[in-house]
């Protein structure tokens, strides 16, 4: 019982972070139509930006995430407008390879500024924890889980209840129809892409409060978000959230029952199976379902 509950709590706490991380990527892929291979680099950029802010101004990552989110939003908008939008007609080979090129550039910048060493952000309360029904809950993990949940909820509300959010939904569901009623499709794609980048950056900041990070983490992140997005169905907020939680549970239990060596393969095999059997994800086809 004790072990089972602890496993559940660990998976849930990890799942919140995965969910947030997956949504940004899933929105970019499902709605803007871009498989963003630089997503991992963008998440890490969020981590490193909050590291700078923490070291220079001693600002807590839970506060600086607003700043990193805003910076990553602008970066995302810039990248979409000047490197991706002009290439959309060229097909997937071009957008894939350009996002990969952006990843190389960001990776190079990170290596130059921070080197390949592992970094951490240690806030003063990093060691605090509490007991919940006998399970051990670290405070920072708990906070990231709550914040991730709030941000996911706000993103959903943004998509459902604001004019821009509705515009993004409209171009996602029926591009021609949306254009016919006067929605500026490229503007919607741009905002959506930038929003995805911002969510990635915020994830990076939250990640940095728990785990240490280095440029190697980039590949880990990109591997995870692929699986999460496919599990949940592309562009589907609740789907990606569910996909994130599911992956966390699969990984946590897989590590215990099958062995942590196989952790990565389990996720990938599930992803390929979902692709082949249910290409619209486990939840279904609808956006924001």
Q: How far is the CB of 151 from other proteins (least distance, A)?
A: 26
Q: What are phi and psi of 98, to 5 degrees?
A: -70, -40
Site string for other proteins, 33-62 (x = CB under 8 A): --x---------------------------
- From the list 6-14, 58-66, 219-227, 237-245, the region that binds other proteins by CB under 8 A is 219-227
Report if residue 288 touches other proteins, rule: CB under 8 A.
no
Collapse the DSSP code of 120 into the 3-class scheme (helix H, G, I; strand E, B; otherwise coil) and give the result: coil
Backbone dihedral region for residue 119 (phi beyond 0: left; psi -120 to 50: alpha; all else: beta): beta
The least CB distance from residue 17 to other proteins, in Å, is 21
Q: Where in 223-252 is the site for other proteins (CB under 8 A)? A: 223, 226-227, 230
Residue 256 interacts with other proteins (CB under 8 A): yes or no = no
- Considering only 70, 92, 116, 154, the residue that binds other proteins (CB under 8 A) is 92
Task: Give the C-alpha distances (Å, rounded to integers) separating 243 from 21, 115, 218, 225.
Answer: 11, 33, 19, 9
Question: DSSP state, 81?
Answer: I
Enclosing H/E stretch for 131: strand 129-132
The answer to whether 250 and 270 have CB atoms below 8 angstroms apart is yes
Q: Does 86 bind other proteins (CB under 8 A)?
A: yes
Regarding 94 and contact with other proteins (CB under 8 A), the answer is: yes
Half-sphere exposure of 211 (CA within 13 A, CB side): 15
Instruction: Give the interface segment with other proteins, choosing from 65-73, 170-178, 189-197, 258-266 (CB under 8 A).
Output: 258-266
Binding of other proteins by 113 (CB under 8 A): no
Using the rule CB under 8 A, is 108 a contact of other proteins?
yes
Q: Which of 122, 265, 285, 289 binds other proteins (CB under 8 A)?
A: 265
Q: Is the dihedral of CA 164, 34, 111, 127 positive or negative?
A: positive
107 belongs to the binding site for other proteins (CB under 8 A): yes
Among 18, 25, 29, 54, binds other proteins (CB under 8 A): 29
Report how far residue 249's alpha carbon sits from residue 14's, in angstroms, rounded to the nearest whole number. Answer: 9
Find the binder of other proteins among 264, 278, 282, 286 (CB under 8 A).
Answer: 264
Q: Which two tokens stand for residue 78?
A: 């810039």
Contact pick of 109, 154, 160, 256 for other proteins (by CB under 8 A):
109
Distances (CA, A) of 273 to 158, 216, 231, 277, 281: 32, 27, 10, 6, 10
Could you give the CA distance from residue 60 to residue 4 in angstroms, rounded to a whole number?
33
Among 11, 172, 271, 283, contact with other proteins (rule: CB under 8 A): 271
Q: Is 182 left (phi over 0), alpha (psi -120 to 50) or beta?
A: left
Position among 4, 279, 284, 289 found at the interface with other proteins (CB under 8 A): 279
Of the candidate residues 32, 76, 103, 194, the single one contacting other proteins (CB under 8 A): 103
């Amino acid at each position: 019982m004790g072990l089972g509950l602890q496993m559940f709590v660990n998976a849930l706490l990890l799942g919140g972070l995965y969910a947030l991380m997956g949504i940004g990527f899933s929105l970019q892929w499902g709605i803007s139509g871009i498989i963003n291979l630089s997503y991992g680099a963008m998440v890490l950029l969020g981590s490193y930006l909050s590291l700078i802010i923490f070291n220079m101004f001693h600002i807590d990552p839970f506060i600086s995430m607003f700043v990193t989110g805003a910076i990553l939003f602008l970066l995302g908008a810039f990248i979409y407008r000047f490197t991706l939008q002009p290439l959309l007609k060229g097909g997937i080979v071009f957008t894939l390879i350009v996002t990969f090129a952006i990843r190389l550039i960001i990776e190079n910048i990170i290596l130059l500024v921070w080197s390949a060493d592992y970094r951490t952000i240690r806030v003063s309360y990093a060691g605090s924890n509490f007991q919940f029904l006998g399970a051990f809950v670290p405070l920072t993990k708990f906070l990231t889980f709550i914040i991730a949940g709030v941000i996911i909820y706000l993103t959903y509300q943004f998509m459902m209840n604001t004019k821009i959010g509705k515009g993004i939904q409209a171009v996602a569901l029926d591009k021609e129809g949306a254009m016919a009623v006067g929605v500026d499709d490229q503007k919607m794609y741009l905002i959506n892409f930038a929003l995805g980048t911002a969510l990635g950056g915020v994830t990076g900041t939250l990640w940095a409060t728990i785990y240490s990070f280095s440029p190697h983490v980039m590949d880990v992140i990109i591997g995870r978000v692929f699986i999460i997005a496919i599990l949940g169905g592309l562009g589907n907020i609740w789907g990606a959230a569910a996909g994130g939680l599911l992956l966390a549970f699969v990984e946590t239990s897989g590590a215990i029952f099958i062995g942590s060596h196989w952790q990565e393969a389990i996720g990938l095999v599930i992803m390929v199976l979902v692709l082949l059997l249910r290409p619209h994800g486990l939840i279904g086809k609808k956006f924001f379902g």
